[in-house]
Amino acid sequence: MKIVKTVDEVRVIVKEWKKEGLTVGLVPTMGFLHEGHKSLITRAVSENDRVVVSDFVNPTQFGVGEDLESYPRDLERDTMLCEEAGANLIFNPEPENMYFDDFSTYVNIESLSEELCGKSRPIHFRGVGTVVSKLFNIVNPDRAYFGQKDAQQLAIIKRMVRDLNFDIVGCPIIREEDGLAKSSRNTYLSKDERKAALILSKAVKLGEDMAKAGEKDTDKIVSEMIKLIETEPMAKIDYVQAVDAVSVKPVKEMTAPVLVAMAVYIGKTRLIDNFIYEG
């Protein structure tokens, strides 16, 4: 497996693969990989001849005061995980190689970006749309893989690929044994916070069970989830909301597909989780 740092190197390698008629899968990540990322890579390996994993903490999706500097990084460990999963290439650029000083072109997915996480992270999805578009242009993949863990991101990217004619594959959330959704940010949690963080997946389970039992009123589901989260003193809710899974606009009734998503601070760490009600 190769690790390359520049856009030009990736392009040369992928061009060679394409000349040989090989298909290429892309898994965009910010690194510090775990089983969640691995599930995407494994899926990509099973569906493509060659797989590129991008490992890049993308500065344009972090707002002022967010965790760009402290975001965990460990390329050596990431390399082992990618190798194990059967990836062929890691693209690990420096920010300077992705963004010129006078970079001035952004991909903004209107309307969907303003909901849920977009309220407290106003430039986040513009950064995501931009970097994912850049990666699509650099790697020119046949398929790209994204996790349901970042449900709003997935909905937004689905809209972007529909609007701009790309192609992607969504993959389910991978969880720790006790239910916590795997996340590179889980590493910020102290022992006590790690325990407290379980309240997110417990709330997801509660909401999901209510929906499965036939509850149609999203307000009832969300308020029960909020009540449960509020029993955890270390948790501070950013939002818990039910939205249409395609448009990301708030809905009052559980008419599938509905995305019930949350962002909750455990101490200083902002965690997200969700479920999709498919009916």
First-residue to last-residue Cα distance in the chain: 42
Q: By the 8 A CB rule, do 28 and 106 touch?
A: no
Nearer CB in complex with ligand AMP: 170/267: 170
Contact 168, 158 (CB under 8 A): yes
- CA dist 137 and 194 (Å) reads 38
Q: Does 117 bind ligand AMP (CB under 6 A)?
A: no
Using CB under 6 A as the binding criterion, the count of chain residues that bind ligand AMP stands at 17
Q: Which residues from 29-48 bind ligand AMP, rule CB under 6 A? A: 29-30, 36-37, 39-40
Mask 146-165, x = binds ligand AMP (CB under 6 A)? Answer: xx-xx---------------
- The closest of 224, 191, 227 to 209, measured between CA atoms, is 224
Between 127 and 147, name the residue whose CB sits nearer to ligand AMP.
147
Rounded to the nearest whole angstrom, what is the least distance from the CB of residue 146 to ligand AMP in the complex? Answer: 4
- Distance of closest approach, residue 152 Cβ to ligand AMP, in angstroms: 10
The token pair that represents 245 in the structure block: 């899974």
Length of the chain: 279
Rounded Cα–Cα distance for residues 187 and 71 (Å): 10
Shortest distance, position 35 Cβ to ligand AMP, whole Å: 7
Q: Between 124 and 182, name the residue whose CB sits nearer to ligand AMP.
A: 182
Q: Angle at the Cα of 180 (from 260 to 149), degrees rounded to 5?
A: 45
Least separation in angstroms between residue 250's CB and ligand AMP is 22
Catalytic residues: 37
Shortest distance, position 151 Cβ to ligand AMP, whole Å: 8
Assign 3-class secondary structure to 159-202: HHHHHHCCCEEEECCCECCCCCECCHHHHHCCHHHHHHCHHHHH
Q: Beta strand 24-29 with 2-4: parallel, antiparallel or unpaired?
A: unpaired
**130 vs 184, which CB is nearer to ligand AMP?**
184
Nearer Cβ to ligand AMP (54/218): 54
User: Which CB, 207 or 254, lies closer to ligand AMP?
Assistant: 207
Query: How far apart are CB 138 and ligand AMP at their closest, in Å?
Result: 17
Contacts of ligand AMP in 71-110 (CB under 6 A): none
Question: What does the alpha-carbon distance between residue 210 and residue 204 come to, in Å, rounded to a whole number?
Answer: 10
Subset of residues 164 to 223 that bind ligand AMP, contact rule: CB under 6 A = 171, 173-174, 181-184
Question: What are 210-217's contacts with CB under 8 Å, separation 24+?
Answer: 211/254, 211/258, 211/260, 211/275, 211/277, 215/254, 216/253, 216/254, 217/252, 217/253, 217/254
Beta partners for residue 171, in sequence order: 147
* Residues near ligand AMP (CB under 6 A): 29-30, 36-37, 39-40, 146-147, 149-150, 171, 173-174, 181-184
